Amino acid sequence: MRTLNQKQLDHFEEFGFLKIDNILDPESVIDPIIQEYNIVLDNLAEKLYSENSITSKYDDLEFGERVTKIYSDSGEVHNQFFDFSLPQSGIKHNTPFWAGPAVFRALTDSNLLDVVESIIGAEIYSNPVQHVRIKIPEKYCPRDENGMVKFGATPWHQDNGVVTEEADDTDMLTVWFPLMDTDEQNGCLTIVPGSHKGELLTHCPNYRNRGLEIPENLFDIGNSMPVPIKKGSVLLLTKKTVHSALPNISNRIRWSFDLRYNPTGQKTGRSVFPGFVARSELDPNSILDDPFIWNKLWTETRDYLAKSEQFSFQRWDGNDIACA
């Protein structure tokens, strides 16, 4: 088992984050995800080309160069086609998502769950607040009407701040890992050590035209530090650790998974989305081990929400004086 030692646990408790090397096997866990997403990119390219939204399918390029060309040529960011979660609004019957078997195997990887168990215990629930993040180099990235990069640097936030109040008492753990090496050039995470010891900070909607963000005067940004991570390594964060992601100023994409886990039975913060039991000593029969059932759960949720009044995940109204 890849359980954490006491020194690692003490570091996580003191600083609110922990980087752990060589947890996910690149060949058996990460490379199959990349191969699977090449199929998704093929499908996206076919769709956009048939709609005359791109001038080429760029099928002679490797994934990173190809997705960069397609995003740039189409003038849009198409991350929803790759994501294994639904958007927070505007869900339709044809809203794309990808909940494939290689992704599922990563979420349920035994080494990864060993690490999670060290923090939250053996009754592990895969929280549906989860995303894949593909960030192409900003120099090639489509821009909005204000000239802002679409899906660029991630604003300062706490993960507790992007879920509903129902999860305020949940022992939610963030597990972040890249599918390729990340550093300060291509947009690794940057965190504020020790910031988890404070309260949930005010998050301002559309602050500085960057989306939901904590104003920098509410925390000590001078203590922030980038955390470069190699392929196969993971970064753990508490739900209150203040963090963001740097802009991608490199010539290569930054590609990462952003996962959440909590003890089974606790609220997820997005209860309308489907989670599942990933590990259990008390009730092994409750464990979901079939990726196709997982995919079906998301498909059924999409179809239900497409014909329903959709739930609002926004807990912030922007009226706090900090947002002025």
Question: Per-residue pLDDT tens for 298-324?
Answer: 999 999 999 988 777 888 988 889 898
Question: Per-residue pLDDT tens for 104-146?
Answer: 999 999 999 999 999 999 999 999 999 999 999 999 998 888 7
List the structure tokens of 34.
């990349």
Contacts of 53 (CB under 8 A, 6+ apart): 73, 74, 76
In this structure, is residue 132 part of a structural domain?
yes
In this structure, is residue 229 part of a structural domain?
yes
Number of structural domains (the chain) is 1
pLDDT at residue 77 is higher than 90: yes
Q: Residue 126's domain spans which residues?
A: 6-323
pLDDT averaged over the chain?
95
In this structure, is residue 227 part of a structural domain?
yes
In this structure, is residue 1 part of a structural domain?
no
| pLDDT at site 286 | 98
In this structure, is residue 193 part of a structural domain?
yes
User: What would you measure as the largest C-alpha separation in the chain, in angstroms?
Assistant: 57
CATH number of the domain residue 190 falls in: 2.60.120.620
In this structure, is residue 242 part of a structural domain?
yes
> How far is residue 236's CA from residue 177's CA, in Å, rounded to a whole number?
9
Report, as an integer, the average pLDDT of 223-234.
97
In this structure, is residue 267 part of a structural domain?
yes
In this structure, is residue 147 part of a structural domain?
yes
Strand partners, 256: 133, 178
